[in-house]
Amino acid sequence: MSIPPRRDRAAKIIATLGPASADDAAIRRLFLAGADVFRVNMSHGDHPTHAGVIAAIRRVEADMGRPIAIMADLQGPKLRIGTLPDDGIGLAVGCSFTLCLNETEGTANRVTLPHPEIFAAARAGDRLLLDDGRMVLRITAVDDGLIITRVETGGRLSSHKGVNVPDAALDLAAITSKDRVDLDFALNQGVDLVALSFLQSARDVQALRRLVGGAARIVAKLEKPQALDDLAAIVDAADAIMVARGDLGVELGAAAVPIAQRRVIKAARAAGRPVIVATQMLESMIEAPVPTRAEASDVATAIYGEADAVMLSAETAIGRHGVAAVTVMDSIIRKVEADMAADIEPQAFSTPVEKGVPVPKAVSRAVREIAASLDCAAVVTFTSSGHTALAIARERPASPILGLTPDTGTARFLALVWGVHSLRSAEVDTMPDMMEIVRDCVARSGIARAGDVVVITAGIPLRTPGTTNLIRVATI
């Protein structure tokens, strides 16, 4: 089957699947609207349902002839209070409220908090945030299985609402027993990406790496303030980074989220790691057919900030206008990227020469400048592990990147990466083979036409990961 035309944009779109988008027809519509990666949220649904969704994605992938990445998002250690009366309770500002370690039904002035890790770490003066931060408790005392608090922000509290502890590092494993079961299932289903929730340090990423091995790439979701304190090490340990602004916003406060987002994108970009901006991007489109102006600006800000991908959650999982949300996001990205391209001045590529950089980095920078100087139709990379394509994407060339790989997992992973249009290709053994494959894949993808100039990069010896050292300019 011929490959559909490439996306007319560089940044990628992740769409979460759910009850509103779980069958072949819905997934196909989302893909054609612009979704590049599909997220399966392990916090909801059961394994048979997820297996059906994953199988549907693979059928659409086969039908479309384009690699599609699947991301399994682990729930992580979600902290919740216990049971309260059916109609909930009211928390009034200034009142005392107690959280108990023992399992008892809640009353108007106390509730169970079945998490000993919180009791071990809590100190007087710390805050506890309930129900996504809608209510704020200030700890006044911790004593023998009791946390006594004063209500600073009140509201109506009902059973099993979430708890955030922004002021303390909890001795809490990021990978729960549920996550281990879900991980085994997801890997057996052949997912491409595994997202780790509520991690606090690079050690959590490393623990997941030991479980995953090379079966999938790891996305580190940054949603705890403690993770920001170990940002450099987390970026180094993970394959991709997600700015998960939901819980991060609860714990940091809304005003601090844009600063954290900018900091994380900058760190990930410097390291050449794909970075995703997620949560509430077009949330009004769960019900409304068009986004708010603020939401459109939020998506644009992520693209101007050079994020690799932006993500839709409930908008496509349960929303009434999922395809429209993807279409709107696609349109915003294309308009912003056109504006960014118009702002590039000729001298923008005349950056100071750095000495002593690794060969792949030097080659990638040279490729960017050659592509700009010759107005190349595309940069074509041969990559087995994805490192070559990642190195080129890090430099943000003006030309689209065609990532050719014989490895299915790599082709799918590159569906997440800025500017890369990935295709599976045959193994390359000789330079004539390389040129034949380039001509075939360029024609099939529609990325260039006869007479166009492309710049090709690969590693010599061929089929050896991590050896990017070749640049070749060719006319199709």
Residue-wise over 365-391: b if at least 16 C-beta within 10 A, else e? bebbebbbeeebbbbbbbbbebbbbbb
| pLDDT value for 361 | 82
* ω into 461 cis (within 30 of 0): yes
Task: Report, in this order, helix, strand and coil percent for the chain, each rounded to 5.
Answer: 40, 25, 40
Scanning the structure block, which residue is given the tokens 């702002």? 343
Angstrom CA distances, 409 to 32, 62, 305, stand at 21, 14, 28
Over residues 129-141, the pLDDT tens digits come to 999 899 999 999 9
Write out pLDDT tens, residues 339-361: 998 876 544 444 456 676 777 78
Question: Buried (b) or exposed (e) across 402-417, using 16+ Cβ within 10 A?
Answer: bbbbbbebbbbbbbbb
pLDDT at 476: 84
Residue 22: alpha-carbon gap to chain centroid: 20
Query: Per residue in 388-410, pLDDT tens?
Result: 899 999 999 999 999 999 999 99
Among 112-121, 210-219, 440-449, the minimum mean pLDDT is found in 440-449
The total number of residues written for the chain in this structure: 476
Could you give the CA distance from residue 14 to residue 469 in angstroms, rounded to a whole number? 32
Give the phi and the psi of residue 216 in degrees, each rounded to 5: -160, 165
Q: How far apart are CA 249 and CA 264, in angstroms?
A: 14
Q: Is 206 or 462 the better-scoring residue by pLDDT?
A: 206
The confidence score (pLDDT) of residue 414 equals 97
pLDDT of residue 437: 87
Flag whether pLDDT at 216 surpasses 50.
yes
Residue 1 above 50 pLDDT? Answer: no
358 Cβ contact list (under 8 Å, min separation 6): none
Residues 6+ apart with CB under 8 A from 246: 132, 223, 278, 279, 280
Q: What is the mean pLDDT of the chain?
A: 91
The arithmetic mean of pLDDT across residues 314-340, rounded, is 97
Alpha carbons 379 and 179: distance in angstroms, whole number: 39
From CA 194, how far away is CA 73, in angstroms rounded?
6
CA 281 to CA 296: how far, in whole Å?
Answer: 8
pLDDT for 19 equals 95
* Continuous segment of H or E residues that includes residue 13: strand 12-17
Residue 353: is it exposed, middle or buried by C-beta count within 10 angstroms (0-12/13-18/19+)? Answer: exposed
On whether the CB atoms of residues 468 and 459 are closer than 8 A, the answer is: yes
CA distance 223 to 228: 9
What pLDDT score does 105 carry?
A: 83
Q: What is the pTM of this model?
A: 0.91
Give the containing element (helix H, strand E) for 328.
Answer: helix 322-343
State the Cα–Cα distance between residues 404 and 187, nearest whole angstrom.
Answer: 24
Residue 33, pLDDT above cutoff 90: yes
Query: Are both 89-164 and 349-475 of the same fold?
Result: no
CATH 3.40.1380.20: does it fit domain 349-475? yes
- The predicted pLDDT at position 349 comes to 43
157, pLDDT greater than 80: yes
Question: Any bridge partners for residue 380, and if so which?
Answer: 402, 456
The domain defined by 12-76+174-343 folds into TIM Barrel (3.20.20)
pLDDT at residue 159, as a whole number: 93
Are the beta carbons of 348 and 48 closer than 8 angstroms? no
CA distance 394 to 270: 8
Q: Do residues 362 and 391 lie in contact, with contact meaning Cβ atoms separated by under 8 Å? A: no
Q: What is the pLDDT of residue 4?
A: 54
Which tens digit of pLDDT belongs to each residue from 234-251?
A: 999 999 999 999 989 998
Residue type, 66: R
Contact 90/156 with Cβ under 8 angstroms? yes
Domain ranges within the chain, ordered by starting residue? 12-76+174-343, 89-164, 349-475
Q: How many angstroms from the chain centroid is the CA of residue 42?
A: 15
Q: Which CATH number fits domain 89-164: 1.20.1440.230, 3.40.190.10, 3.30.70.3270, 2.40.33.10?
A: 2.40.33.10
Q: What is the pLDDT of residues 92-125, one digit of tens each?
A: 999 999 999 987 889 999 999 999 999 999 999 9
